[in-house]
Amino acid sequence: MNMKIIVTGGAGFIGSNFVRYVGRERPDWQIVVYDKLTYAGNRLNIAGLSEDRVKLVVADICDEASIDAAVADCDAVVHFAAESHNDNSLHSPRPFIDTNIVGTYQILQAVRKHGKRLHHISTDEVYGDLALDDPAKFNPETPYNPSSPYSSTKASSDLLVRAWVRSFGIQATISNCSNNYGPYQHVEKFIPRQITEILEGRRPKLYGTGENVRDWIHTEDHSSGVLTILENGKNGETYLIGADGERNNKDVIELILEIMGKDPHDYEHVEDRPGHDLRYAIDASKLYGELGWRPKYTDFRAGLSETIDWYKQNSDWWQPQKDSTEAKYQEIGR
Ligand code: NAD
Ligand code: DAU
């Protein structure tokens, strides 16, 4: 079926990778990128896509009139827009309340009014964290237990979506994904920060002991999971997206250094993040079993090498963000 979809946050990291993915996989679809272009959004992330098929609307999801008009004129909304960085949320939580909670509320009201389909993008962080030796992983029945201002606002947004499904009968699905890596990720985030520190001739920065585990997935696999759920997911259901990519931060930094031809132990230990979640791990068996989804990037080293090459070849893209990002880290001592 031909569709016209709105991708909120489509000029950010994961949203823009999704727009490119859908552009390739569904050549008949129209895509409206609805994005406020905050510090994390970038027009360049969707540059080169056909202007007949991909249109950019620069607006805030909290703006009731703008989001209402956009939703009225589409078939479905895929909602990526968010304040997404934990460290920022610890320093300055207010924009997280506005965008992640109030913005999601405005989208819910618009899809309710116009009877449109919604897919809401969320995170595994809503479930809190796991012990390193816990045999269990997060699954759709795991109780919510968020730790940070970021994850608590994402948890709030998920609960709003569930309430609008039950109380108002909107057509919506939710996905909670683990840590993404790949091209176009802002240099504030762990993997691109370390790659670009090395490219700038500085040492990578490891928070605390580095035993914290993240469950890495390539952003292309996140995109294929979201498209699968958008097309085939059951109304009202939550799906977890993950690719069995658990690794601790110390191992990831050492691997980046090794791939980049440096001494794997040449990194700095910096102050730990307050409230730092210890481990995330996703059980994606519902998405595998019910919808037949499979990840393609199962070799983390190969995906990481490709990502490192992308940052090497695209310094024009990341250089303008780098100094201001490191200045922010300097302020908070990390
Ligand atoms: P990002 O910070 O790179 O991009 C966010 C985008 O949203 C930017 O383009 C920004 O301009 C836009 N935006 C922010 N506030 C807005 C507003 N009020 N109105 C309109 N647009 C606004 O984030 P990301 O890492 O690509 O994450 C995208 C989504 O995926 C988020 O919902 C996040 O919670 C979720 N998620 C991220 C990860 C990850 O590893 N990065 C993992 C799981 C889920
Ligand atoms: O799990 C999904 C979440 O993953 C998403 O919901 C978030 O939007 C996304 O930002 C990410 O959150 P994290 O806090 O896990 O990602 P971040 O890249 O900030 O950090 C990853 C790990 O690396 C974390 O344990 C903190 C650590 N870290 C981070 C930075 C920036 C370092 O050791 N050094 C660093 O310089």
Q: Which residue of the set 35, 124, 129, 158 is catalytic?
A: 124
Count Cβ atoms within 10 A of the Cβ of residue 111 and give its class: 0-12 exposed, 13-18 middle, 19 or more buried.
buried
| Catalytic residue (one of 60, 83, 87, 125) | 125
Residue 109 above 80 pLDDT? yes
> Which pTM does this prediction carry?
0.98
Distances (CA, A) of 193 to 47, 95, 182: 23, 22, 12
Closest ligand 2 atom to residue 84 Cα is 8
Nearest listed ligand to the Cα of residue 61: 1
Quickly state the pLDDT bin for 50 (edges 50, 70, 90).
confident
Asked whether residue 246 carries a pLDDT value surpassing 80, the answer given is yes
The answer to whether residue 149 is domain-embedded is yes
Q: Is 214's C-beta closer than 6 angstroms to any atom of ligand 2?
A: yes
Exposure of 51 by Cβ count < 10 A (0-12 exposed, 13-18 middle, 19+ buried)? exposed
What pLDDT is stored for residue 297 in this prediction? Answer: 97
Domain assignment of residue 256, yes or no: no
Whether residue 210 is contained in a domain is answered as no
Active-site option among 21, 150, 181, 184 = 150
From the list 36, 83, 29, the residue with the least C-alpha distance to 52 is 29
Distance between alpha carbon 325 and the CA centroid of its chain, in Å?
18
Q: What is the CATH number of the domain that holds 175?
A: 3.40.50.720
Say if 237 falls within a structural domain.
yes
Q: Based on the residue annotation, tell me whether 144 is a catalytic residue of this protein.
A: no
Percentage above 70 pLDDT, the chain: 100
Cβ 81 under 6 angstroms from ligand 1: yes
- CB proximity list for 15: less than 8 A, separation 6 or greater: 7, 8, 9, 33, 35, 80, 81
211-236 tens-digit pLDDT: 999 999 999 999 999 999 999 999 99
pLDDT at 35: 98
Confidence of residue 2 (pLDDT cuts 50, 70, 90): confident
pLDDT digits (tens, 9 = 90+) for 255-292: 999 999 999 999 999 999 999 999 999 999 999 999 99
> Looking at the domain assignment, is residue 305 inside a domain?
no
Which ligand is closest in space to the CA of residue 147? 2
User: What sign does the CA torsion over 54, 55, 57, 62 have?
Assistant: negative
150 catalytic? Reply is yes
What is the rounded average pLDDT of the residues 93-112? 98
Q: Round to whole Å and give the CA distance between 107 and 98.
A: 13
Question: In residues, how long is the chain?
Answer: 334
Q: Do the Cβ atoms of 33 and 56 come closer than 8 Å?
A: yes
Residue 212 CB less than 6 A away from ligand 2: yes
For residue range 117-126, list pLDDT tens digits in order: 999 999 999 9
pLDDT tier, 92 (very low <50, low <70, confident <90, very high otherwise): very high
Model pLDDT, residue 74: 98
- Please indicate whether residue 207, judged by its CB atom, sits closer than 6 Å to ligand 2: yes
Q: What is the pLDDT of residue 3?
A: 95
Q: Compute, in angstroms, the gap from residue 19 CA to the centroid of ligand 1.
A: 13
What number does the ligand 2 atom closest to the CA of 125 have?
1
Ligand 2 centre distance from Cα of residue 150 (Å) = 11
**Confidence class of residue 140 from pLDDT cuts 50, 70 and 90?**
very high
Q: How many CA atoms lie within 13 A of 132 on its CB side?
A: 8
- The answer to whether position 101 is within a domain reads yes
pLDDT at 1 > cutoff 80: no
| 89, two tokens | 């949320």
16 CA: nearest ligand 1 atom: 26
pLDDT for res 252: 98
Within the chain, where are the H helices?
Answer: 13-25, 64-72, 86-91, 94-96, 104-114, 149-168, 190-199, 219-232, 249-259, 285-291, 300-313, 315-332
Q: For ligand 2, say whether the CB of 84 is within 6 Å of any of its atoms.
A: yes
> What is residue 242's three-state secondary structure?
coil
From 38, 150, 175, mutation site for ligand 1 pocket: most ligand atoms within 8 A of C-beta: 38
pLDDT(67) > 80: yes
Averaged pLDDT, 160-189? 98
Looking at the chain, the whole-number percentage of residues with pLDDT higher than 90 is 97
Question: How many domains is the chain partitioned into structurally?
Answer: 1
Please report the pLDDT score of residue 51 as a whole number: 87
Residues 6+ apart with CB under 8 A from 323: none
Averaged pLDDT, 87-108? 98
pLDDT band at 333 (very low <50, low <70, confident <90, very high): confident
Give residue 325's pLDDT.
Answer: 97
Looking at the domain assignment, is residue 263 inside a domain? no
Helix (H, G, I), strand (E, B) or coil at 330: helix
- Domain limits at 69? 4-186+218-243+277-300
Average pLDDT of the residues of the chain: 97
205 beta partners: 268
Q: Which of 131, 89, 122, 90 is nearest to 280 (CA)?
A: 131
C-alpha separations of 53 from 12, 74, 221, 228, 259 in Å:
18, 13, 23, 21, 38
- On whether residue 261 sits in a domain, the answer given is no
How far is the centre of ligand 2, averaged over its atoms, from the C-alpha of 257 (Å)?
Answer: 18
Q: Atom 30 of ligand 2 has which residue's CA nearest to it?
A: 190
> 323 phi and psi, to 5 degrees?
-65, -40
